[in-house]
Amino acid sequence: MFTFNKTIIHSIHSHITSHPLISLFILTLFLIEITLFCSHSPPPQPLFPPTDNLCTDGTIYVYDLPPMFNSDLLGTCDDLDPWHWQCGVATNHGYGTTATELAGIVPESLASAWHRTNQFSSEVIFHNRVLKHKCRTMEPESATAYYIPFYAGLAVGKYLFSDSSNEERDFHAVELIKWVQDQPYWRRSNGSDHVLVLGRITWDFRRLTDPEKLWGSTFLNMPEMQNVTRLTIERAPYDYHDIGVPYPTGFHPTSVTDIRTWQSFVRTYNRTSLFTFVGAAREDIGDDIRGLLLRTCRNESGSGSGSGACRVVDCALTPCANGSKEIIEALLGSEFCLQPRGDSFTRRSVFDCMIAGSVPVLFWNRTMYDQYEWYMPEEPESYSVFIDHGDVSAGKRSIKAVLESYSVEKVRRMREKVIEIIPKIVYSNSNSSSSSNDGMKDAFEIAVEGVLKRFGAEREQLRLESVGKGFLESP
């Protein structure tokens, strides 16, 4: 039955303008509801209760999976080792160890907020955070969303760089689907109100059939997965159920004060270079734009470190996977950072860059604009520069000339926008729920809220369709 709340007001409002018969019908129900409401005389409730902490978007239920799907997959290597991609994922709830090497670079009060975080740890971070979420429910019957804490990235990661059979690569995914299909709440919806987090890019779960391109698992190709929502660091732009979430960076503020301190630190930092490039050239990729950018940047880098227009951090020489000191110094010291695609379209470096208050320069739309819809402002030019990769490869546009054409005032405004985005793209490390956060929401909170709102809207849509159908079919 309907409840006397915002939902019905909203549905009346949105249907007054669509189908007159349906609105009349709903209005009738509404009047009946008011009559019932008055005759039952329940304690009066405020029509629009204050929204803080009330989970107005619904609740989330977290499955208690057998450990083979999560904790058993956590490796044992507890620091970041660039040669083993999963190292550090398990450490400190996914945040990694404290980055003591940044002492003297970051403000003293934030020394413990900086970690050696593995870029593929979001499935672990989300799991630990959701267990403490204020809208987590222990009553599955009434939940809006069902969270499956499967570490899909770690499950496939065991087999990524070895000669494994397809059965091995798909083993955990197949078992997970068997397990979840036995759950009553899955059977009720075929998974369409279920959500999971993929710590790696979506392409690692969409194995192609071409024998030359056997990579990853077929988890997302499985028919049972088609209506399940996945939060992932790189989404397939055509897939409604893939939602892009930020790569984890090393900064994990524990309070609003931490964020404010960091924002003013990067706002006033003395940036002595125009731009920076952090990355390695790839000789095995033909027409590699990274090699070109590396050469361009070297060309502009001047003699002493930090004195020229561009700062290079060559990841073939510096182990970028764990040596974040050089990267952070380069990003803090530059107005802009170059972000070409890498092995895939997205890169963690885009987020490192923005957190350092540097303005990202993008060469492919899919690196950012088509990815992180819930996080980024609508106007890309307000916080970034776009230079088409084709123009760069063809030598049609000089990066330096493009960047120099921006006025000091325009760069300041773009940086201000980037600084405004920082709180939304960090994964904060706070034990308290969001009530004390001045309404500031981090990447995790935005994702949970987005999923609840989306599932709520889909459910409402289905309900209205069936109400409408029932009415039109009744004699």
Give me the residues that bind ligand NAG (CB under 6 A), please: 79-82, 101, 116, 189-190, 192, 223, 226-227, 254, 270, 272, 295-296, 299, 319, 322-323, 365, 369, 380, 386, 429-431
* Minimum gap (Å) between residue 43 Cβ and ligand NAG: 36
Q: In this complex, which beta carbon is closest to ligand NAG, that of residue 23 or of residue 62?
A: 62
Q: In this complex, which beta carbon is closest to ligand NAG, that of residue 216 or of residue 308?
A: 308
Give the integer Cα–Cα distance in Å for 291 and 449.
40
Q: In this complex, which beta carbon is closest to ligand NAG, that of residue 48 or of residue 83?
A: 83
Give the integer Cα–Cα distance in Å for 28 and 22.
10
Q: In this complex, which beta carbon is closest to ligand NAG, that of residue 36 or of residue 77?
A: 77
Q: In this complex, which beta carbon is closest to ligand NAG, that of residue 371 or of residue 429?
A: 429
CA angle 88, 90, 96 (to 5 degrees): 50
* Minimum gap (Å) between residue 291 Cβ and ligand NAG: 10
Greatest C-alpha distance within the chain: 85
* Minimum gap (Å) between residue 46 Cβ and ligand NAG: 34
* Minimum gap (Å) between residue 9 Cβ and ligand NAG: 27
Q: In this complex, which beta carbon is closest to ligand NAG, that of residue 23 or of residue 229?
A: 229
* Minimum gap (Å) between residue 17 Cβ and ligand NAG: 25
CB atoms closer than 10 angstroms to residue 204: 24
* Minimum gap (Å) between residue 322 Cβ and ligand NAG: 4
- C-alpha R_g of the chain: 25
* Minimum gap (Å) between residue 88 Cβ and ligand NAG: 8
Q: In this complex, which beta carbon is closest to ligand NAG, that of residue 23 or of residue 117?
A: 117
Q: In this complex, which beta carbon is closest to ligand NAG, that of residue 23 or of residue 273?
A: 273
* Minimum gap (Å) between residue 321 Cβ and ligand NAG: 7
CB neighbour list of residue 240: distance below 8 Å, 6 or more residues apart = none
Q: Which residues of 388-421 are buried (b: 16+ CB within 10 A; e: fewer)?
A: ebeebeeeeeebbebbeebeeeebeebbebbbeb
* Minimum gap (Å) between residue 279 Cβ and ligand NAG: 15
Q: In this complex, which beta carbon is closest to ligand NAG, that of residue 70 or of residue 296?
A: 296
Q: In this complex, which beta carbon is closest to ligand NAG, that of residue 405 or of residue 474?
A: 405
* Minimum gap (Å) between residue 30 Cβ and ligand NAG: 28
